[in-house]
Amino acid sequence: MIKNQNIVLVINDIAISTTINDKLGVFYNINSFKKISNALDSIYNSLPDLIITDFSSDATEISKIISEVKKDPIFGQIPFLVIVEEDYIFCDDNWLIIDDYIRKHDVDKEIQNVVKLCLFRAERVFETNPLSRLPGNITIEKKIQNMIDKGEKFAVAYTDLDYFKPYNDKYGFSRGDQVLRMLGRLVLNFVRQWQPHDSFVGHIGGDDFVFIVSIDIAEKLSQEIIDTFSKIVLTFYDDEDKKKKCIDSVDREGMKKKYPIMGLSIGIAHNQIRNFTHYGEVAELASEMKKYAKLSGGNCYKIDMRKI
């Protein structure tokens, strides 16, 4: 059985943790921790499909951390399933931050059904890319439009892989998907490192990703992402192709052709000078800058510097 969904389990009670692992381990990839503070790195690096935690150890601390995660536009879509004692009474704040709950005496019999329901509900409510687990088109559009409506200053960077199709054609979709997952994690990690708060990363689809950050860091951040990607991407090639620094693949007409190692082109649009009224204007300008980066040889970024 292929286990495609990932669950972070944060349970201090060994008996409950063991029961859940036994019941769910056959169907899901489970990463277990005793404290939610210790699980944060895993949550932020891997974007799990579900987080299961326990209110019985320290509900106040856990509620605080859940609230912080929920406020983040990137990670706010991750559902939280909470295990509570039989006599636990929810306060209003706790009702607002969790997605579902189960009482301890029901874990053995009901955990599988509750988890299935929680994951199904999350898929319907939150629109995410199934490959990267990052927010998709609808969320991206809403985020940009919301920032425009609020009058916030921002930069939108549109990333696109150079020579990804020839790589996919030669190495297959499975290895191509590995490259896309790597790129998604790379962008996410660097964006969070450079701007932990009020930033955003989304996956439009295929090899197209978007990140939103402050205007003053957009260029340096883009260059660091490009430089790091250029080093890592070689690990996805066979030794012979690494030495040649190119691959033999076919073009859209089916003709054999040599293609360079994949690179990354980034187009940046911002509202430092322009006043946008609709997210479509931002998307069009970022796409235009991305095409300009590709025409300039790729593996670079281009930012709109024109004055109106």
Q: Which whole number is the average pLDDT over 11-36?
A: 90
d(CA 150, CA 120): 33
Q: Which whole number is the average pLDDT over 231-255?
A: 88
Q: What tens digit of pLDDT does each residue of 117-135 get?
A: 988 887 766 677 878 888 8
Neighbours of 16 (CB within 10 A): 19
* Strand extents, DSSP E, the chain: 6-10, 29-33, 50-54, 80-84, 100-103, 155-162, 200-205, 208-213, 246-250, 256-260, 263-270, 301-303
Residue 34: exposure state from Cβ atoms within 10 A (0-12, 13-18, ≥19)? middle
Amino acid sitting at position 92: D
Q: What tens digit of pLDDT does each residue of 27-52 get?
A: 999 999 988 778 888 888 778 889 99
Mean pLDDT of the chain: 88
Tally helices (H) and strands (E) across the chain: 11, 12
Q: What tens digit of pLDDT does each residue of 201-230 get?
A: 999 989 999 999 999 999 999 999 999 999
pTM of the shown model: 0.71
Range in 40-54, 100-114, 141-155, 278-292 the model is least confident about: 40-54
Q: Which domains does the chain have, with CATH numbers?
A: 6-125 (3.40.50.2300), 137-303 (3.30.70.270)
Question: Structure tokens of 227?
Answer: 């430089």
**What pLDDT does 95 receive?**
55
**What pLDDT does 94 receive?**
55
